[in-house]
Structure 1
Amino acid sequence: MSTLQPMIVNCFSVSTIKIREGVVEHLRLDTQTNTLIYIASGRGRIAIKDEQLKVMEGKSYIMTEEGYLFSSSQKLLTVYIISWNKTIFTFPDSLLLANQDPVKIVPLWEEAILLQERKSISEQCKFQGKVWSLLSSLTDQTEVDRIEESKELIIHNLSTVYTISALAEKAKMTPNSFARAFKKQEGISPKEYIIAQRIKAAKTLMLQNKGITAKEIALKVGLQDEFYFSRIFKQKVGQAPTVFMKRTKERIAVVSQLFLQDHLLSLGIQPVAAPAYPSEYPANRGLPGHLSKQLEGTRLLNAEKLFNAEEILYAQPDRIIKTPLHKGEIQSILLSHEQKVEHISLKSDWNDYLREIASLLNLESMVDAIENEISCLETKVKDELRPITRRGNWAVIWVRQKEIRLYGRQQHACLDLIYNKLGFEAHPGIPSTGYRIVTVEELAILNADKLLILWSHEQDVWKVVQTKKWKMLKAVQTNHVYYPKSQEWDPWGPIGRKHMLVQFASEFQKTNHIV
């Protein structure tokens, strides 16, 4: 049977890649190629030049330049790709691609991949038809897409007063059907969403614009009446705008790889700039969930790479709180502002940071109350856990993609909390400080009575527990392996410590017992 000529057959190329968390995939494009990617599972980021874009399940993205894909979820980031020569056609820049449920669309991708390898004219025609069907589906806007488009319109035009009728008309829906669809997708009405976005924008304006007035903020977020704005803000935030702005009466930036903003917030101060880890906490702008809401309006600095000193100074800080940075990094641009920089050495205890920061800000009077609250909570949780901790010794591990870390009992806030505050008896064979990398065989030789798995992602744990060697562990044989949901446990500050303690006992009661 004759076949089509290569120049006709190969106008499209279809493929798929699967990316584990923390892995980076380079998408290479030449200048004559356009590429569309579809996210079938997981989430992550696309990095193109200096810009980064979140990618989520069910969404498609057009790439005209090469870039890098990062996975940032426990699920594999599964990506389907169509590439074609720009001479065939190019999508307009303004095109909004449709959300498509993977259950519906993935079978089309898989069929296209299979047909691509077949050589008969009939099957190559079917391949071309399948690709065009995919492109048709991914550019056919659904109700969900129209709601997404409405949200983008609201966020980028907050000073414009939109009625529900006007938004519904732009979405080509009736006001009632638009309101129902919006609430179904977002959990709140369009009016409540608009107010929430205005409050969020108002916080950012307060924190990032030194000397701005409540009246100016009200106008910028689309509320002409300053008094109405103040009433709504107090209703939603719990504080009047003037009181909220006092949180930044002294504008403080945090330049650290530690979440020292936790300590500042506990002292009633919101920093104008603070560190974040976008790949570690992708769902909350690079922050653990217990800090995200409280830092709305704060300029977030990417702590996963060298800090941009100009970005820090753009926040107009009156004072910069700085700890030693990785690789001995020196912020040369900050040297000319040295009178603003408060240098804090690295410490072994969470409350040492609290006391030093409070001393710098003349807020020492608040420290005892904060420490007493934490101490009472530690005692309460220790008592609740006593049935689990009263017998046997423990080892704490972090199962990572390519290694297992066995942690010591000291000089780490989380391990200090577990062993020294909550009554867990440490196995005599664990390190005194830090951690060491171990094999499953070495864990078996350690012979700990009980094993606690922290911070570990499910696919990494599952890979380990399926091995025969895992069954040799004493803790496995006696069903004393505990695996609580702990990805956001970070007790280096008062707020993070309270968050962990509140979760600790309840997580242990319902934790997975790995066998």
Structure 2
Amino acid sequence: MSQLLLTKLHHFKLDMLKVRDGGVESINIMNGHINLMYIASGHGFLTKNGEQEALKEGKSYFLTEDCHFLSTSSELLTVYMLSWDKEVKNLSYVLSIRLADQLPAKMVSLWDEAIRLQNGESLSAQCKFQSAVWTILSLLTDYAEVDQIEETIELIRKNVANPYSVATLAEKANMTPNSFTRAFKKRVGMSPKEFLMEERIQTAKALMLQNKGITTKDVAMKIGLQDEFYFSRLFKQKVGEAPTIFMKKSKERIAVVSQMFLQDHLLSLGIQPVAAPFYPSVYPLSGGLPSYLEHHLQGTRLLNAEKMFKPEEILQSQPDRILKTPLHNGEVQAVLLSHQQRVQHISFKTEWNDYLREIASLLGRESMVDKIEQEISCLESKVKDELCPLTRKGKWAVIWIRQNEIRLYGHSHHACFDLLYQKLGFEPHPDLPTSGYRLLTVEELATLNIDKLLILWSHEKDVWKVVQSKEWKKIKAVKNKEVYYPKSHEWDPWGPIGRKQMLLQFSSSFKASKLMS
């Protein structure tokens, strides 16, 4: 009798998966099964049927077909899975229920307890297991106030031309106007009306950049404003310049087809590209771009540089000119253009300002280069003076600690290391490569007798794994407590804006970054 009860109770199966940064996990859905996935930590992307969806901590997703997910966070992507046969009658309706966001602090212990209980053989253990699973299901289907606000945000974003009133939005969220406004402001940081205006301005930017010849009147109508003069005043108030001035930035429509952020150079020359590359897995929290470029590129069509560029995506932005560099890994990229459109091929360069000068020459903006270079040069001199107490003694090396390797970088022919060793006064260790990098072990690093060590771009989990090893403690710089690990994830000095941003952060973050192991 008890065996029959156990058979009836055993509908569910639970599992937990952990994926490291950059790792991919495939999910093979057994025929006739339904999976419920909960994200306990980290960030990433879920891909199914060629479509990509962002994975966020605290969210749940139904999976009914084969798929895979990618981790894009320095923190492990931790995923809990609950599966059951879709023929179980009392669960057939679950797929129609909206899933609620729930904090990991509230959910992880419940998942872990359910996993611990699922292999229990006694009737008591199985009853406890079932109770744990139903508790999880009840929380993940407990659609709450925060979920209603999230849906409202998506509704506004998809319908910016609709003049929703607060009363209408509150009604859709099943809330009173006052409680809805308070909840919305707590979640978003601004009122529903302010958020709608922000979304309209962002949409207006995209319309002006992506639609050749569009008028301010057309833009105003498309974002739900009947008065183009009111739109112009609003745009200037929010952006700091009139729509006509904004549109002049893309008067000559330029697309960037490159795995480098050449848009940095264009923006410094007063030009916003109509299309430019982005890296969604490298910068998942800022729209696939370094945060210092994200705001400047609102309205630009973003091209995924982690994949082969698609010519149709490039041409949708109607470019007059394309700036193109050779692509990595020997990839061949053909871009078909009409006779009115031109492709400018830009070769790889070792100096950041060589790109600036060539692009400025192509666009007739050479007169702006000297001022940009002078500003950067003054900033470099200032930072060099501030760092002098740290750099005047000892020889340096720069490493990047990655998941399965350590890279020791050369002292020249790279914008970052030219900046450190030639502009900021760091003296390179004599055993560094001249250019590029070489792979080495911690033991090999210890034999180099490096006085001072700088760790760049490395994820914390990879650094701490290396730091805990016995070999790490044999490194001279470690013994002398001269290891520096600044927050450098966005340090990219290949363009004027990125270089300036790095320099502005460098001195203060560097001085506070000594790694005490």
State the TM-score, normalizing by the size of structure 1.
Answer: 0.97
Following TM superposition, by how much is the alpha carbon of 1:234 offset from its aligned partner in structure 2, in angstroms? 0.6
Following TM superposition, by how much is the alpha carbon of 1:106 offset from its aligned partner in structure 2, in angstroms? 1.4
Find 2:510's aligned residue among 493, 508, 511: 508
User: In the alignment, residue 298 of structure 1 is paired with which amino acid?
Assistant: T
Change (3 A) 1:337 1:414: farther
Q: Which residue of 1 aligns with 2:327?
A: 325
Measured against aligned partners, the alpha-carbon deviations of 1:260-313 in whole angstroms (never above 9, x if no partner) come to: 000000011111111111111111221111111101111111111111111111
Question: Are the equivalent residues in 2 in contact too, given 1:58–1:99 (CA < 8 A)?
Answer: yes
Following TM superposition, by how much is the alpha carbon of 1:80 offset from its aligned partner in structure 2, in angstroms? 0.6
Following TM superposition, by how much is the alpha carbon of 1:227 offset from its aligned partner in structure 2, in angstroms? 1.4
Find 1:413's aligned residue among 394, 415, 418: 415
Unaligned runs of 5+ in 2: none
Alignment of 1:345-356 (within 5 A): 345-356=347-358
Distance between the aligned counterparts of 1:474 and 1:348, measured in 2? Answer: 31
Distance between the aligned counterparts of 1:267 and 1:35, measured in 2? Answer: 51
Question: Are the equivalent residues in 1 in contact too, given 2:220–2:231 (CA < 8 A)?
Answer: yes
User: In the alignment, residue 18 of structure 2 is paired with which amino acid?
Assistant: K
Distance between the aligned counterparts of 2:303 and 2:4, measured in 1? Answer: 54
Q: Which residue of 1 aligns with 2:113?
A: 111
Distance between the aligned counterparts of 2:246 and 2:86, measured in 1? Answer: 52
Change (3 A) 1:370 1:470: same
Q: SS where residue 3 of structure 1 aligns?
A: helix
Distance between the aligned counterparts of 2:316 and 2:95, measured in 1? Answer: 31
Following TM superposition, by how much is the alpha carbon of 1:254 offset from its aligned partner in structure 2, in angstroms? 0.4
Distance between the aligned counterparts of 1:93 and 1:258, measured in 2? Answer: 43
Following TM superposition, by how much is the alpha carbon of 1:4 offset from its aligned partner in structure 2, in angstroms? 4.0
Q: Which residue of 2 aligns with 1:26?
A: 26
Distance between the aligned counterparts of 2:493 and 2:436, measured in 1? Answer: 16
Following TM superposition, by how much is the alpha carbon of 1:62 offset from its aligned partner in structure 2, in angstroms? 1.2
Q: SS where residue 192 of structure 1 aligns?
A: helix
Q: SS where residue 431 of structure 1 aligns?
A: coil
Distance between the aligned counterparts of 2:17 and 2:331, measured in 1? Answer: 36
Find 1:208's aligned residue among 207, 210, 215: 210
Q: Which residue of 2 aligns with 1:72?
A: 72
Distance between the aligned counterparts of 1:335 and 1:202, measured in 2? Answer: 27
Q: SS where residue 332 of structure 1 aligns?
A: coil
User: In the alignment, residue 60 of structure 1 is paired with which amino acid?
Assistant: S
Q: Which residue of 2 aligns with 1:160?
A: 162
Q: Which residue of 1 aligns with 2:15?
A: 15
Question: Are the equivalent residues in 2 in contact too, given 1:449–1:480 (CA < 8 A)?
Answer: yes
Question: Are the equivalent residues in 1 in contact too, given 2:6–2:126 (CA < 8 A)?
Answer: no
Following TM superposition, by how much is the alpha carbon of 1:370 offset from its aligned partner in structure 2, in angstroms? 0.6
Q: Identity of counterpart residues, as a percentage?
A: 63
Q: Which residue of 2 aligns with 1:137?
A: 139
Measured against aligned partners, the alpha-carbon deviations of 1:455-508 in whole angstroms (never above 9, x if no partner) come to: 000000000000111111111111100000000000000000001000100101
Q: Which residue of 1 aligns with 2:52?
A: 52
Measured against aligned partners, the alpha-carbon deviations of 1:131-190 in whole angstroms (never above 9, x if no partner) come to: 222112111112211110110111111111111122112112222221111111112222
Q: Does 1:377 align with 2:375?
A: no
Q: SS where residue 478 of structure 2 aligns?
A: helix
Unaligned runs of 5+ in 1: none
Comparing 187-196 with 464-473, which one deviates more in the overlay? 187-196
Q: Does 1:358 align with 2:321?
A: no
Change (3 A) 1:31 1:232: farther
Alignment of 1:454-473 (within 5 A): 454-473=456-475
Find 1:246's aligned residue among 245, 248, 262: 248
Measured against aligned partners, the alpha-carbon deviations of 1:377-410 in whole angstroms (never above 9, x if no partner) come to: 0001101111111111100000001010000001
Alignment of 1:84-483 (within 5 A): 84-88=84-88, 89-90=91-92, 95-334=97-336, 340-483=342-485
Question: Are the equivalent residues in 2 in contact too, given 1:441–1:469 (CA < 8 A)?
Answer: yes
Distance between the aligned counterparts of 2:133 and 2:483, measured in 1? Answer: 48
Q: SS where residue 25 of structure 2 aligns?
A: strand
User: In the alignment, residue 26 of structure 2 is paired with which amino acid?
Assistant: H
User: In the alignment, residue 75 of structure 2 is paired with which amino acid?
Assistant: K
Distance between the aligned counterparts of 1:355 and 1:384, measured in 2? Answer: 29
CA RMSD of aligned residues (A): 1.6
User: In the alignment, residue 51 of structure 2 is paired with which amino acid?
Assistant: E
Distance between the aligned counterparts of 1:26 and 1:459, measured in 2? Answer: 23
Question: Are the equivalent residues in 1 in contact too, given 2:493–2:499 (CA < 8 A)?
Answer: yes
Distance between the aligned counterparts of 1:90 and 1:209, measured in 2? Answer: 46
Following TM superposition, by how much is the alpha carbon of 1:121 offset from its aligned partner in structure 2, in angstroms? 2.1
User: In the alignment, residue 45 of structure 2 is paired with which amino acid?
Assistant: R
Change (3 A) 1:348 1:119: same
Distance between the aligned counterparts of 1:327 and 1:418, measured in 2? Answer: 27
Question: Are the equivalent residues in 2 in contact too, given 1:355–1:367 (CA < 8 A)?
Answer: yes
Question: Are the equivalent residues in 2 in contact too, given 1:3–1:120 (CA < 8 A)?
Answer: no
Change (3 A) 1:211 1:95: farther
Distance between the aligned counterparts of 1:141 and 1:224, measured in 2? Answer: 37
Question: Are the equivalent residues in 2 in contact too, given 1:323–1:346 (CA < 8 A)?
Answer: yes
Measured against aligned partners, the alpha-carbon deviations of 1:335-387 in whole angstroms (never above 9, x if no partner) come to: 66695111111111110110111111001111111111100000011011111
Distance between the aligned counterparts of 1:460 and 1:205, measured in 2? Answer: 42
Distance between the aligned counterparts of 2:446 and 2:203, measured in 1? Answer: 54
Q: SS where residue 292 of structure 1 aligns?
A: helix
Comparing 337-346 with 298-307, which one deviates more in the overlay? 337-346
Question: Are the equivalent residues in 1 in contact too, given 2:42–2:75 (CA < 8 A)?
Answer: yes
Question: Are the equivalent residues in 2 in contact too, given 1:41–1:77 (CA < 8 A)?
Answer: yes
Change (3 A) 1:167 1:349: same
Measured against aligned partners, the alpha-carbon deviations of 1:74-118 in whole angstroms (never above 9, x if no partner) come to: 111111111122222445776431110111111211121112111
Change (3 A) 1:478 1:418: same
Q: SS where residue 354 of structure 1 aligns?
A: helix
Measured against aligned partners, the alpha-carbon deviations of 1:394-434 in whole angstroms (never above 9, x if no partner) come to: 00000001010000001111111000100000000111110
Comparing 159-168 with 453-462, which one deviates more in the overlay? 159-168
Q: SS where residue 254 of structure 1 aligns?
A: strand
Distance between the aligned counterparts of 2:330 and 2:41, measured in 1? Answer: 38
Question: Are the equivalent residues in 2 in contact too, given 1:34–1:90 (CA < 8 A)?
Answer: no
Distance between the aligned counterparts of 2:452 and 2:154, measured in 1? Answer: 50
State the TM-score, normalizing by the size of structure 2.
Answer: 0.97
Distance between the aligned counterparts of 2:229 and 2:341, measured in 1? Answer: 39
User: In the alignment, residue 361 of structure 1 is paired with which amino acid?
Assistant: L
Question: Are the equivalent residues in 2 in contact too, given 1:483–1:514 (CA < 8 A)?
Answer: no
Distance between the aligned counterparts of 2:259 and 2:49, measured in 1? Answer: 24
